[in-house]
Structure 1
């Protein structure tokens, strides 16, 4: 590749020498820029557009940890907040994630081990989902990377936003992986080199599912038995099947992902977003540890779960004009998908 680039440069040099020579150039008349920031954004290369959008979206997020009493080496909980509208620097909670106790993880280890029976059936999914998530959504919805350029980019930015947020929460809470409790878990994929809760894959896929649901209907709630949320649950469960996550990791990731999806689309579509809480110490049944699947998700989002609280406190976030310009193009593509 570098050799081709060098050859191209040499060819361009000789071509200019041949057709320009030593002539004195006459500059073209200058013209002022007629495009605003949002209109100029698509003229940047993809990676630079991503950098601009990420800075706009992240600048309104803040993180606050809560220690146990007495304080330990890991935080009891972390709250992700978003900046309020107005000139003053004030924040409102977006989502609070509290970790389970170590004993809760220990009791859930046999449940993770039992999921190993599904590994043969799910190996292809688990392997592919280490790298690709959007194609699984595209198998349900008509998301075409050629006809839906803005929509595809919008989803990719959503994926990119998850990483810095979820890693801040993971690092603060410092939750263990299943194979730390038993050498018979034996994950079938390399164990990620970071703490477990919340599950990054669960956070990613629930962020994407929520973005798509709200793109279709800005007032949509989470319908646990819809195809996109069933898919989100399956992808989250596959990480337990693989042996690298507990069900509680997936549940925490689902709550964080739903809230990040709502935050993104509220800023992109000029709608409202509220707050939510997940308490890992409450994520259990009377008889022991709780599993995670779409029936459990339905309990979580309909106010039937003591571990989860989606509050009725939605307000408008600060404007994000650059991100909104991309979401508007994505919404237009989606509206015209039958054309």
Structure 2
């Protein structure tokens, strides 16, 4: 490693002004991020947004083009320095676990511990396998393991050298849904128990919210917003962030007197000038439905049930707004538990304003 001492209190991983391009096309544009010891940060975004490039630059698998990468205060890339991956003190787990088929589980885990004696390598491998719950399979071979077990072996191998930083690139995407939930829960607890700073790349917003202390939402090479999962979900910076965290009903309107009209009544739009064309994004769970009412009675916010489907823990209703120019407007509402009114039922509808967002129309993607 670089001879300078690690700075006291420095982030475990620091990315400063990272920029990267392929054949002249920008893939990452001025991204900065710091991760503390024991913190899990997710890079979240669609395919091609630059999140994997950032992880590869941090790992040393892509040569840094612009900016600086530091681990525990030591520069590992930038300022004329370019340390190879094996000198950065990082652990790597990818979607393809890349286990050696001719080596046992224990030998796979011990593979990167060449500086230790044979006895110490064996002891460390067994210790880490115990941590991930696979000590009983130490002498098994990868082809005999399930996908979830292979993922845990890859995690154990990455943890064995006691890295300061773990870099995970879509490590759960190859698992089926039920196994994925179990394995990522186990992985989160292992990472927290070891106190390892973690950067996780994913395209799955639910996975990011489950795993992360903070999420960096990426789009077209730029970081759109960085914050705690609850902050991004409840206070998105723009329409892209709001929509990326799940389905939204998207309405159009024009601001007048600081408000914009919807089928559920006016919504405040204090940050927008009168006359501004806006999109109103309404999460399905923000539409609150009451017991059926007779047509023509009740509040101005009325909807007609087009279809209702039970989705297990919640019910999804397809709705049409009642009356006027909005009569053809199709909306989705999500209601906890079982709520399956008959097709054609007229319901009263109100909005949870905390899950309703107004953005200038040119901000949508």
Same fold (TM over 0.5): no
Q: Which has the higher helix share?
A: 1
Shorter-chain TM-score: which interval? Answer: under 0.3
TM-score by length of 2: 0.23
Q: Which has the larger radius of gyration?
A: 2
Q: Which has the higher strand share?
A: 2
